[in-house]
Amino acid sequence: MTSIPDFFQDESEGALRCQVEWQTKHLALGDGFFAKFLREDTRIFCGWRKDTDALTEAKLNVLRDWWQTVLHLLSFQNFDEEKVRLLLQQVAPTVSKADPSLFAPPWSASSMKDFLESYGPDAIQDVNRWVGSFRFGDPYRPSRKDNACLSTQT
C-alpha cells in the first residue's frame, strides 16, 4: 500500500492546483509566495487557484518544474514535511565570497523561500544544484566557472 496521492506525479493543470494547495497546507507556501515566484499578480494567481482566471503555459511549466524540486526536497528530508518547511524558511548567515564553504547554499543572508521569491524561476536550478551536490554531484571538486550560481554571478 502507498499513501502517495496521484497528483504527486500528475502534470495536468488540475493536479498543479492540488500541488499548490498541498504546499500551502504542508509547507506554508501561500499565494503571496507563488505570486512573487511566478512574477504574477496575486489576484490573478488566486483566481487561477479557484479556476476563475488563467496562467500562461510558461507559468504553469514553472509550477511543474518547482513541484519536481519540492519532490526532491521531500526525498532529501526523508518526507518529513516539517524539515522541508524549516529548510525553506531558515535564514542563512552571510557567507564570505572569499571563503566559500563546500556545501554553502546560494541563498547567503536570506532563506530559500526569499531566494525563490527574489530570483523567480531562475532560482529553481540553483536549489536543484545545491540538493544535487549532496546526492549526485561531487562537491569536493574544484568549482568551474560555468557552475556559478545566481548568488555568485556578477
Partner 1 sequence: MPVNPNLTVIVAAGSPLFRITPVSYHTPNRAYHKKVVNGLGAKNNYHGGRYNHGGVVTVYLADTPNACLAEKMFYFQREVVRRLDALHQPLSPGLPAFSDRFTLWEIRPKNAIPDVCHLTQANATAVGVIPSLMVNPSQDYDHLKDRRTFIQSNGYKGIKAPSSRSVVGGEIVVLFDDQSKNVDLIPYTVEFRLITRPPMAAFGNHMTELLDFNAGEVRFAAGAPAGIAAQGGWTRIPFNH
Chain residues in the site for partner 1 (CB under 8 A): 1-2, 4-6, 8-10, 68, 71, 74-80, 83, 86-87, 90, 92-93, 95, 101-105, 107, 125, 128-129, 132-139
Looking at the Cβ atoms of 43 and 139, the one nearer to partner 1 is 139
Residue 54 Cβ, how far from partner 1 at the closest point, in Å?
25
Q: Are 32 and 42 in contact (CB under 8 A)?
A: yes
Residue 76 Cβ, how far from partner 1 at the closest point, in Å?
7
Q: Are 94 and 109 in contact (CB under 8 A)?
A: yes
Q: Are 152 and 97 in contact (CB under 8 A)?
A: yes
Looking at the Cβ atoms of 35 and 105, the one nearer to partner 1 is 105
Residue 8 Cβ, how far from partner 1 at the closest point, in Å?
5
Looking at the Cβ atoms of 4 and 58, the one nearer to partner 1 is 4
With vertex at residue 28, the alpha carbon angle to CA 22 and CA 33, rounded to the nearest 5 degrees, is 100
Looking at the Cβ atoms of 30 and 139, the one nearer to partner 1 is 139
Residue 136 Cβ, how far from partner 1 at the closest point, in Å?
5
Residue 4 Cβ, how far from partner 1 at the closest point, in Å?
5
Burial of 86-119, coded b for 16+ CB within 10 Å and e otherwise, reads: ebbeeebeebeeeeeeeebbbbbebbbbbbbbeb
